[in-house]
A = this chain, B = another copy of it.
């Protein structure tokens, strides 16, 4: 199932047609994607920098989540083939449209804890 990597909107297939809320939650859901998008808002960040900014994430999970976000058209990946290699991640236009939503989730979370 789930054919990934067919570019923009590669999100998990059947979900698409169904409920847009479910689809959005599927794209930004999971343990790490929210904070990744939040950090990348109006920012271009390198892999290890990103890893440093997200306490507790493993290299494996960071890679996986970035790959999925990329496949869903949320994140861009820019490689400079210098030595050592340099890879910069940033949000696509679609991705930037998500960041206010993530930001409001942060606000809500803070007042919820308060």
Contacts and interface: CB of A to CB of B under 8 A. Distances in A.
Contacts of A18: 56
Which bracket fits the contact residues of A?
35 or more
A83 interface: no
Main secondary structure of the interface of A (DSSP, over half): helix
A34 B38 CA distance: 20
Interface of A: 9, 16, 18-25, 27-35, 38, 56, 94, 97-98, 100-102, 104-113
A95 to B, nearest CB: 10
Nearest to A107: B20
Nearest to A23: B109
Given A9-B113, A98-B108, A29 B25 contact: yes
